[in-house]
């Protein structure tokens, strides 16, 4: 997944509308060690997420067929995912310019890295890998409301031209897709990929040191963030329908 920050979003103003070059996932090349690392990460996160993760994530993980015993085969994941929302996870070799990434979202293609972190990197990896991208992001794409929100978000992000609008759309992505919280079953649960895939970030988000604020578009648009430390302010939606309403409002402001 695209590493996104407020300092690097100027690339959104690139005029190219082309999609990036996708690669093939050679699933048979994964080693027993890589499958073991995936399984350890899966078990460690699911132990917490069965209680603290959004039911939309948990339902989505079942829908796309994520398993503890092996790295996902994207062909199998996409066969399940496309049937329900039309989304596909598409392998890429590395970092994408922001505009190419958001262009992919606008056509329901989610760029994903396919490397597996090493056992020594299980607790921290500075760049995304298949666990962050597929385990953290893709289950949400099986939910119709979130799937519609993310596609529409991609269209609006591509349309952003002023520096101020680029920053606003970056903040919306960060505080929803990456670090979003949702109110379910009478309490706060995690759904953003940075929280789904990371024990430390999720524990911080639900702990006493993080201020959890009600989601509003204005509040998110005006909240700066930094990517290199635990977040001290996050936003909680009441439902994913609230996200689609927010991106509609963003469209009215940015594309007017």
Per annotation, catalytic residue among 54, 100, 106, 132: 132
Q: Tell me which of 54, 193, 197, 198 is the catalytic residue.
A: 197
Say whether 137 is catalytic. yes
Query: Which of 137, 152, 198, 236 is the catalytic position?
Result: 137
Active site residue 197: yes
28 included as an active-site residue: no
* 178 a catalytic residue: yes
User: Which residues lie below 8 Å from residue 14, measured CB to CB, with a gap of 6+?
Assistant: 97, 99
Active site residues: 132, 137, 178, 197
């Amino acid at each position: 997944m695209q590493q996104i920050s407020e300092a690097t979003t100027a690339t959104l103003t690139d005029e190219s509308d082309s999609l990036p070059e996708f690669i093939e996932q050679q699933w048979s090349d994964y080693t027993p060690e890589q499958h073991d690392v995936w399984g350890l990460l899966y078990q460690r996160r699911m132990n917490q997420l069965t209680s603290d993760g959004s039911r939309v994530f948990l339902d989505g993980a079942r829908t796309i067929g994520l398993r503890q015993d092996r790295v996902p085969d994207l062909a199998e994941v996409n066969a399940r995912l496309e049937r329900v929302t039309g989304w596909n996870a598409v392998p890429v070799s590395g970092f994408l310019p922001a505009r190419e990434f958001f262009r992919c979202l606008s056509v329901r293609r989610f760029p994903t890295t396919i490397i597996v972190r090493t056992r020594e990197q299980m607790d921290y990896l500075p760049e995304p890998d298949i666990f962050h991208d597929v385990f953290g992001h893709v289950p949400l794409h099986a939910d119709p409301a979130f799937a519609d929100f993310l596609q529409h978000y991609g269209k609006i992000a591509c349309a952003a031209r002023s520096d101020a609008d680029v920053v606003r759309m970056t903040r919306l992505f960060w505080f929803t897709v990456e670090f979003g919280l949702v109110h379910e079953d009478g309490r706060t649960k995690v759904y953003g990929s940075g929280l789904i895939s990371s024990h430390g970030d999720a524990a911080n988000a639900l702990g006493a040191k993080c201020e959890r604020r009600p989601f509003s578009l204005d509040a998110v648009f005006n909240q700066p963030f930094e990517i290199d430390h635990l977040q001290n302010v996050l936003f909680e939606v009441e439902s994913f329908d609230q996200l689609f309403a927010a991106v509609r409002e963003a469209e009215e402001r940015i594309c007017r």
